[in-house]
Every structure is written in C-alpha cells, then in structure tokens.
Amino acid sequence: MSFKQSFFYAIFWQRFKRNHMALAATGVVATLFLVSLLAPVIAPWQPNAINAWSVLTPPSWQHWFGTDELGRDVLSRIIYGARISLKVGFVAVGIAVSIGTVVGLVSGYYSGLVDTVLMRFVDIMLCFPAFFLILAVITIREPSIWNIMIVIGLTGWMGVARLVRAETLSIREMDYILAARCIGCSDARIIFRHILPNAISPVLVSASLGVGGAILTESALSFLGIGVLPPTPSWGNILTSGKDYIEFAWWLSLFPGLSILITVLAYNLLGEGIRDALDPRVKR
C-alpha cells in the first residue's frame, strides 16, 4: 500500500468512525458473519431435528424462539438461515457488481457506438419489472439457491453500470490517463489499472445496499416457495410456515422477520455510512 492510499484509508476511517449508526451496523454485520461461520457450534439444537412432542411450543428456556410445526427449534433454524442470507447477498451482489463495473468501464471509456449500445441495453433491462423477471427465470429453471443468486445478480447490475460509467467519463479526461496513453499503456491496462481503482469507491455504497436488497429478494422468493427449498432453513421459508400458523404461533412469524429487518437495516446503514465518509461535501 502506497503512502497516498494509506492516507486515503486513514481519512476514510476517521470520518466513518464518527458515524455511530454506521459503526453499530458494522458490528451487526460482523456478528452475522460470526454466527453463520459458527452455526454448528452456537445453535442449541439441530436445525432439522424433528420432535413430535414439542410441536409449535411458544418461546421457553429450552427453545428461546419457540418451535415450528414439526417441533424444530426456530432459533437454530434462524442461525442456520443466516448462512443462506449471507451467501445469497454476497454472491448475487458479487455478480451484479462485476457485470456492472465491466459494462460501465467499457461504456465510459470507449464511448461512441459501444457506449450507445450498452446503455440502451441498460435502459431495456430497467424496463422490466425486476421481480417478474426473477420470478420467470426461477420458475422456468429449477428453484435452487444457485439459480436465485445468479438471477438476482443478472437483474441487478444496471445501477452499478450507470454509476461506473459516469465516474469513468470524468476520470478518462484526466491528465494522468493521457500520460498513461503516451507511454504506451494498452487500453486494458488503462481501464483496469488506472481507471478502475479510482472509479470503484461509489460502487462500495451500492454493493452494501445491494446485499440488503438481495437478502430481501431471496426471502420473498423463499416465502413464495420458489426460493430456498425446505428442509434447508432460510428466513423466508420459515416465514412461510409462519403464515400458515399465524393464528396460534406468532413467534414463527416474528423472529425470522425481525432477523431480515435487522440484517437489511445494517447493510443499508453501512452503505449510507460509507457514502457519507466518501463524500467530501458532508462535514460532520
């Protein structure tokens, strides 16, 4: 890491840590990572252990979040569900960010016909109601966690592409890019070595917000029964049974919903925190 880079990170951190909400959000995100990593250790019960003698029991010392219609421990299922949410969030956003970044860089750097074609493609993709597109592809192919991640990624890159394109357009005109071209750098080297590092920071913000969005989409799909399929626990499919038993088992709906809410909230606040810390106009 060069001096200039470490200076940048130092300033970023200084600004970021003054934002208490964002710090708390970072804590929540870190905790979630730990929970999903250590799921087998911290889950009090086996997530799929069926127990016919404790069906739909309310929260107790034995089962903190109660049990579901098959007598499975809801807390343990939520802990294992965190793994799914995290995986879907990161892989889907990874796909979206990679496609978006490459499209944005190419579009902004080459401009002209390439730019027009790529940006019109972005316009077209934005016309489709995203959830319809996702629903169509997933029901037509098989509902599986991989298909979900891929489809959410493939339908979520357009915003990043526009963002990176705008950054690239302004960076392209800078003197150091001209200098790089003068000493004979290839286009690929200029794009990935000189433009990308300077265009990437706003992407961090949309990535963080995107993880939240992807988790919401996955849970909605699982809730509809076309996402993560039972018996694998996911926050969305726990809520499906929550819906069926809502009249006599509120805990089956409350806790997985709260988990989704808190997780998505944390990623959104983290994204906002990064945005504020990067934005030179925001003074705190």
User: What 3 state SS string does 183-246 have?
Assistant: CCCCHHHHHHHHHHHHHCHHHHHHHHHHHHHHHHHHHHHHHHCCCCCCCCCCHHHHHHHHHHCC
Among 133, 169, 180, 185, binds another protein (CB under 8 A): 133
Among 148, 226, 270, 277, binds another protein (CB under 8 A): 226
Contact window for another protein (CB under 8 A) among 37-45, 60-68, 105-113, 247-255: 247-255
- Residue 73 DSSP class: B
Cis before residue 231, ω within 30 degrees of 0?
Answer: yes
Supply the minimum distance, in Å, between the C-beta of residue 17 and another protein: 19
189 scored as a contact of another protein (CB under 8 A): no
132 scored as a contact of another protein (CB under 8 A): yes
181 scored as a contact of another protein (CB under 8 A): no
Can you give the C-alpha Rg of the chain in angstroms?
Answer: 22
- What single letter denotes the amino acid at residue 20? H
Contact window for another protein (CB under 8 A) among 6-14, 79-87, 95-103, 241-249: 241-249
Instruction: Assess contact for 129 and 187: CB atoms under 8 A.
Output: no
> Which helix (DSSP H) or strand (DSSP E) does residue 93 occupy?
helix 74-110
140 scored as a contact of another protein (CB under 8 A): yes
| Gap between the Cα atoms of 203 and 74, Å rounded | 36
280 scored as a contact of another protein (CB under 8 A): no
Considering only residues 9-48, where is the footprint of another protein by CB under 8 A? Answer: none
Angle at the Cα of 4 from the Cα atoms of 1 and 6, rounded to 5 degrees: 50
Alpha-carbon distances of 190 from 85, 91, 197, 219, rounded to whole Å? 36, 27, 11, 40
Among 28, 159, 253, 278, binds another protein (CB under 8 A): 253
282 scored as a contact of another protein (CB under 8 A): no
113 scored as a contact of another protein (CB under 8 A): no
245 scored as a contact of another protein (CB under 8 A): no
Which residues contact another protein by CB under 8 A? Answer: 120-121, 123-133, 135-137, 139-141, 212, 216, 219-220, 223-224, 226, 239, 242-243, 246-247, 250, 253, 256-257, 260-262, 264-265, 268-269
